[in-house]
Structure 1
């Protein structure tokens, strides 16, 4: 399958026939027919029901068409952005981030960076910390904004810069009796259902939290596991339990949860910028400078 075949297919759908598409594309009708045949061969099925006039899309064609349109739009955007970079009218920077940074740090960093570099395209890619190094190796991103708890693996070909330490706080349902207190004792998790997150086989984050509580003599019951932090907040807000989150996440305008400092907790999370070692990139350097500056103010 190639973009020409996809383009021909979409033009046939939009114009109503192969002949009409050929006129619009300024090619021979046989070229349309040949490319459609090759596309259908690659896909393993017919895109059009040719027994009907005008031709109608088969179920495969109905599935394929909107996705083909999106593919063509993405290809066009890629070409336009690449052209701008090639002639020096812009640049590109890939930023991997964890969702929790949307609550505080990332919006400020993006705003300040865009003020300094309005013509640079920021490609923002949401990824858990454990997946960011892979994207850095693939050059899908230039920097990963990661969160770790306790010790973490440091790849020898990556640089790790601490943005700031982010203490843990308890999150409770707003209507819970313990939410009226000025602080939260870590031992209270013994009787409070625990919301574990993120639910991902490659992320040890939630398991480290749970293991730490057990080390402190607290063995909370995990009633629910959330894929990401927004879901964890929603489950807490629904009264299904409590959890621990980094303090920077407390500014999220939720009225159904309460955040409390935790008594007896000795660990915190670390927000870290991960980049390829030895990378020479002025745009990246400027982004890191803004990131570290905003982090110092957090």
Structure 2
């Protein structure tokens, strides 16, 4: 790439791109000014005058007009070669700028986590890369705190978050709900309750619970509240588990049971079964979050794909 300091913009501003294009058209017409004037739909004298103006600014003769048809001078041959390169880059710049304006090229940094990775994310990525294959997607697995911090610092374009969220009051961020999902109970395959299709929360009164850190996933306070409303205080195992696969491994080890979003059923973990929660209104809403002032067309194309995928998902679930 040529450094900006190496380009004399003031000198280049003396030239008209149209004149250079006229020169290229004459060359393409085998040096025939009359044929080029027909193609350009201008009078031949006017075309000749514009080429002379170009030569004056350049300070060189491009054509030897003593020959019929006129021939390129040595300076004209060099100018032709370099002008072709320059016009190629200008044409590419125009095309790429238009594509960027439509969100067809660019870079998009997306924060992901288990909150979305086990659900609609594969469908979203598949659809987006199908329609926008030249947008570079950078996927970052982040905690909620890391995600919000990077959004605030404009190092991340968008992420996913459970709502209500303590960050919803941040006026620099936009939250848009996209999907609501129920929770299920994850049990060891050998557990006596595994024979039931639905399990009431009261049946878990004496079961050890494996819960993620409430600092990392504050939503799980709602799980504790529902247990209290069912008449018991859950027995929480003394483990520091955050990632879904870790929690499932602990369930498979028969250290306890877990209450997890229903998308967890897309993961087949040997030794673990999933059962519906009976008579408990336990759901979570997932939202996409992005900087309110982010005007990236690629971002808004991604948001549209998310909306389309969630609508299709809701249609399938109701059909």
Give the TM-score, by structure 2 length.
Answer: 0.61
Aligned to 1:285: 300
Distance in 1 separating the partners of 2:185 and 2:216: 24
In structure 2, relative to structure 1, the CA distance for the partners of 1:265 and 1:153 (3 Å cut) is farther
Q: Does the 8 Å CA contact 1:157/1:277 hold for their aligned counterparts?
A: yes
Q: Which residue of 2 aligns with 1:108?
A: 123
Match among 219, 229, 236 for residue 215 of structure 1? 229
Asked if the contact 1:189/1:218 (under 8 Å) is kept, the reply is: no
Is the deviation greater in 185-194 or in 89-98? 89-98
Counterpart in 1 of 2:42? none
2:101 paired with 1:99: no
Aligned residues of 2:144 and 2:216 also touching (Cα < 8 A): no
How many residues were matched structurally? 212
Q: Which runs of 5+ in 1 are unaligned?
A: 1-84
Give how far 1:291 is off.
1.1
Give the equivalent residue in structure 2 for 1:204: 218
Residues 265 and 248 of structure 1, relative CA distance in 2, 3 Å threshold: same
| C-alpha contact (below 8 Å) 2:185/2:260 kept by paired residues | yes
* Deviation at residue 152 of structure 1 after TM alignment: 4.5
What SS is found at the alignment partner of 1:236? helix
1:139-185 CA distance string (max 9 Å, x none): 1211111224x564412221111111111111111111101101011
Larger deviation: 157-166 or 250-259? 250-259
Query: C-alpha separation between the residues in 1 aligned to 2:252 and 2:246?
Result: 10
The aligned residue for residue 294 of structure 1 is 309
1:269 aligns with 2:281: no
* Deviation of 1:202 (Å): 4.7
Q: TM-score, normalised by structure 1?
A: 0.65
CA contact (8 A) 1:184 1:262 kept: yes
1:178-193 equivalence runs, <5 A: 178-193=193-208
C-alpha contact 1:168 1:247 (8 A) present in aligned 2? yes
Deviation at 1:104, TM superposition (A): 2.4
Shift of 1:284: 0.7
Structure 1 residues 1-298: aligned runs within 5 Å: 90-148=105-163, 152-154=166-168, 155-197=170-212, 199=213, 201-223=215-237, 224-298=239-313
| Deviations, residues 187-213 of structure 1 (Å, cap 9, x unaligned) | 12211110011x363542333422332
Decide which structure has the larger Cα Rg and report it.
2
Q: Residue 196 of structure 1: SS of its match in structure 2?
A: coil
For residues 73-111 of structure 1, what are the alpha-carbon distances to aligned partners after superposition, in whole Å with 9 as ceiling and x for unaligned?
xxxxxxxxxxxx999694100101122422221111111
- Tell whether the 8 Å contact from 2:216 to 2:242 is kept in structure 1 after alignment: no
Moved more, 187-196 or 121-130: 121-130
Q: Which runs of 4+ in 1 moved over 4 A?
A: 85-89
3-state SS of 2:180 partner: strand
Contact 1:200 1:227 in 2 (8 A): no
